[in-house]
Amino acid sequence: MPGFELFGDQERKEVNDVLDNGVLMRYGFDGMRNGHWKAKSLETELSKTFQTKHVQLVSSGTAAVSVALASAGVGAGDEVIMPTFTFVASFEAIMMLGAIPVLVDIDDTLTLDPKAVEAAITDKTKAVMVVQMCGSMADMKSLRTICNKHNLIFVEDACQAIGGTYDGKPLGSIADVGCFSFDFVKTITCGEGGAVVTNNPEYYKNADHYSDHGHDHVGNDRGAESHPFLGYNFRISELNAAVGLAQVKRLPEFISIQKKHYMILRDAIARVPGVTFRKVPKGGEESYAFLNFFLPDLETARQVAAKFKTEGIDACWNYYDNNWHYVRKWEHLKEAKSLYPLSTEIKHELSKLKEKDFSQSDYWIGRNISCLIKLSWTEEEVRQRAETMVNNIKSCL
């Protein structure tokens, strides 16, 4: 999965362009640049890749979620429905705005269960945020129907799913506003970086201003720009954007490699009785960044994960006991451990997490094994890996 596995001359050239010019900031210093605008160029390339009118680069995927929500008007006291299986950044980005994260169950897609979403809607609900975890997607049609029915903002976190599609549309471009991460372990990387994508011109204008202290970016004199509203600093640097500019042009190459490796592993594991695979909704195609399969029960999944580790099969996880990606171990969230005072509304919602029944999520996550697909493997290594994985699974069943 990580684009850094295949760094080469393209990335070096783009970075050297920035260093030769000496302008590392994405805004201003027009006379020194000699026509080099890496962030602007990357936004143009991403707009083509995501088939989306507007792209705003930011400093991280976490920043992308916060900027996306703020740009759509989500803030203090608003409830944002999110899944139990994601990265901690999801609730961090919501809480940073003073909004309230409302966690609900996943289904066999390993993403939001539409029925759980509908059941969680209250008069305070402002947005539904789907997280396209591990390279695949939720039932986007059902979620869109729910959002339209209740007049909710639909947010799509596709940080782990760049290159996947749903009904022919790139993941991240389907909801009202989408978010991407380009950190060091994503399919394309900037080192650190993220993007907000949308077809809504108002959301885009808000994201553009909000991510740069409220600058309106009108005219050629940065010091003379006005500030229509409050903003913060979520800017990406030209160095980070330069790496991403080279990487995004290589995305078809990366997806092709991922798919080849994924299919070798999946075809081998599919022949093992008792193994099933995550559901990919009709019309969807994964990014092939991860292979996710289910075993009969939690104990077997734990045994297989441990066996993989012992046998040198790295980057395969059973997320049930994971500290960072599943609700069970988010004690700092459940206990509202914060350096600064949280609102009464947020603390009240978080207090529910200690007693809330997430048995449905436990059922799917407990039985799941998620395996990262690496770009740097040779075909021979993949086939050997597949054989070892099959033997290990069989020994635990």
The answer to whether 236 touches 58, Cβ cutoff 8 Å, is yes
Do both 262 and 384 map to the same domain? yes
Q: At 322, list the tokens.
A: 């994971």
The domain of 347 spans: 252-396
Question: In this structure, which amino acid lies at residue 288?
Answer: Y
CA-to-CA distance for 204 and 55, rounded, in angstroms?
7
Q: What pLDDT, on a 0 to 100 scale, did the predictor assign at position 264?
A: 98
Summarize pLDDT for 209-254 with one digit per residue, the tens.
Answer: 999 999 999 998 999 999 999 999 999 999 999 999 999 999 999 9
| Mean pLDDT (whole number) for 310-334 | 97
Average pLDDT on 263-288 reads 98
> Distances from the Cα of 144 to the Cαs of 95, 107, 127, 243, in angstroms?
24, 17, 11, 34
Residue 160 and residue 26 share a domain? yes
Instruction: Specify whether 68 is located in the same domain as 169.
Output: yes
Q: End of a domain among 194, 224, 250?
A: 250
Report the share of the chain in percent with pLDDT over 90: 98
Percent of the chain at pLDDT > 70 equals 100
Residues 205 and 314 in one domain: no
Query: What would the pLDDT profile of 17-39 be if each residue is shown by its tens digit?
Result: 999 999 999 999 998 998 999 99
d(CA 21, CA 1) in angstroms, rounded, equals: 31
**Is the pLDDT assigned to residue 1 strictly greater than 90?**
no
Question: Are 302 and 358 within one domain?
Answer: yes
For residue 238, give both structure tokens: 């030209």
Residues 96 and 213 in one domain: yes
40 and 105 part of one domain: yes
pLDDT tens-digit series, residues 341-393: 999 999 999 999 999 999 999 999 999 999 999 999 999 999 999 999 999 99
Task: Specify the pLDDT at position 281.
Answer: 98
183 and 275 within one domain: no
**Same-domain status, 226 and 312:** no
User: 288-300: per-residue pLDDT in tens?
Assistant: 999 999 999 999 9
Here the contacts of 214-223 (C-beta below 8 Å, separation 24 or greater) are: 215/27, 217/27, 220/30, 222/27, 222/28
Question: Total domain count for the chain?
Answer: 2
How does pLDDT run across 158-215, given as a tens digit for each residue? 999 999 999 999 999 999 999 999 999 999 999 999 999 999 999 999 999 999 999 9
Mean pLDDT of the chain: 97
With 0.95 as the threshold, say if the pTM is over it.
yes
CATH classification of the domain holding 286: 3.90.1150.10
Confidence (pLDDT) at 18: 96
- Pick the last residue of a domain from 219, 250, 281: 250
Residue 242 and residue 391 in one domain: no
What are residue 177's DSSP bridge partners? 155, 198
**Domain boundary at 218, 250, 282, which?**
250
The 3 state secondary structure assigned to the chain is: CCHHHHCCHHHHHHHHHHHHHCCCECCCCHHHCCCCCHHHHHHHHHHHHCCCCEEEEECCHHHHHHHHHHHCCCCCCCEEEEECECCCHHHHHHHCCCCEEEEECECCCCCECHHHHHHHCCCCEEEEEEECHHHCCCCHHHHHHHHHHHCCEEEEECCCCCCCEECCEECCCCCCEEEEECECCCCCCCECCEEEEECCHHHHHHHHHHCECCCCCCCCCHHHCCCCCCCCECCCEHHHHHHHHHHHCCHHHHHHHHHHHHHHHHHHHCCCCCCEECCCCCCEECCCCEEEEECCCHHHHHHHHHHHHHCCCCCEECHHHCCCCEHHHCHHHHCCCCCCCCCHHHHHHHHHHHCCCCHHHHHHHHHEEEEECCCCCCHHHHHHHHHHHHHHHHHHC
CA dist., res. 215 & res. 105, Å (int): 39
Q: Are residues 117 and 232 in the same domain?
A: yes
Same domain, 231 and 303: no
